[in-house]
Chain A
Amino acid sequence: AQKVTQAQTEISVVEKEDVTLDCVYETRDTTYYLFWYKQPPSGELVFLIRRNSFDEQNEISGRYSWNFQKSTSSFNFTITASQVVDSAVYFCALEWYGTNRDDKIIFGKGTRLHILP
């Protein structure tokens, strides 16, 4: 069965500290996509990154970086030098092909991140 686990329900760090959000996934498919979305207090989820299962290259975008490891089925997200504006709920998501070749997406339960000034 497909599953996304974000074991950290809530994290609080002081501004400028680094923080890593964990995501572990389960799938039997060889072709899949992984995503991270940010949900600020305004409510809409904002796309951050997507990775396909064949691309294990880590990615850095400004203060954000992602570590994809198929060997451990993990797709972790690190914020370097955190800022108060990073406070939000972060969701990891898994997308794969369904039995009818339609794409299916499931989200983890999210990690609420508090950046304290």
Chain B
Amino acid sequence: EAGVAQSPRYKIIEKRQSVAFWCNPISGHATLYWYQQILGQGPKLLIQFQNNGVVDDSQLPKDRFSAERLKGVDSTLKIQPAKLEDSAVYLCASSLEGGGLPGEKLFFGSGTQLSVL
């Protein structure tokens, strides 16, 4: 079974530039998550999709971050403009159900490591 695919693996940009990350979840997984993991911290949820609808985006800095999941499959996360404090690993995860059915285990991608200079 193919895992969660993310690209790019690394990205270096200057502050105020824009950047986009892509995620393709495990086939058939209804729920997709974007997490931000700052060095030395645990993952923090940015946004959760159930199919192509947003379930939770309460921690997404909406003035600069946006995400979409067209057709309920793959997803993109965009930052525009980037700030120094956005330097982190951005992890994508998926689960079979989620969105109201707690206890589902998450399957994570390897993440995109973003450095904002």
* CB contact list, A84-104 vs B, under 8 A: 91, 93, 95-98, 101-104
Per-position contact with B for A21-54: 1 when CB-CB < 8 Å, else 0? 0000000000111010100001111110010100
- Residues of B near A106 (CB, < 8 A) are 42, 45
CA distance A73 to B101 in the complex (A): 23
B76 CB to nearest A CB, Å = 19
- Residues of A near B40 (CB, < 8 A) are 109-110
Q: Is the CB of B99 within 8 A of A102?
A: yes
Number of interface residues of A (CB under 8 A): 30
The answer, yes or no, to whether A64 is at the interface (CB within 8 Å) is no
Q: Is the CB of B3 within 8 A of A97?
A: no
Is the contact region of chain B dominated by helix, strand, or loop, or is it mixed?
Answer: loop
Asked whether A46 and B108 contact (CB < 8 A) given A104-B56, A109-B40, the answer is yes
Q: Which of A98, A102, A109 contacts B41 (CB 8 A)?
A: A109
Question: How many A-B Cβ pairs are below 8 Å?
Answer: 68
Residues of B near any A CB (own CB < 8 A): 3-4, 40-45, 48, 55-56, 89, 91, 93, 98-103, 105-111, 113
Q: Is the CB of A44 within 8 A of B109?
A: yes
A103 CB to nearest B CB, Å = 4
Asked whether A102 and B55 contact (CB < 8 A) given A44-B3, A45-B108, A110-B42, the answer is yes
- Residues of B near A31 (CB, < 8 A) are 102
Q: Which of A32, A33, A47, A109 contacts B42 (CB 8 A)?
A: A109
Q: Which of A44, A95, A109 contacts B4 (CB 8 A)?
A: A44
Asked whether A35 and B43 contact (CB < 8 A) given A44-B110, A45-B91, A101-B100, the answer is no
Asked whether A43 and B111 contact (CB < 8 A) given A102-B56, A104-B56, A108-B42, the answer is yes
Q: Which of B43, B103, B107 contacts A33 (CB 8 A)?
A: B103
New contact pairs (10) apart from A103-B99, A107-B44, CB-CB < 8 Å:
A4-B42, A44-B110, A45-B93, A46-B108, A52-B103, A102-B48, A103-B100, A103-B101, A107-B43, A109-B42
A88 CB to nearest B CB, Å = 13
CA distance A107 to B45 in the complex (A): 9
A111 CB to nearest B CB, Å = 10
- Residues of B near A101 (CB, < 8 A) are 100
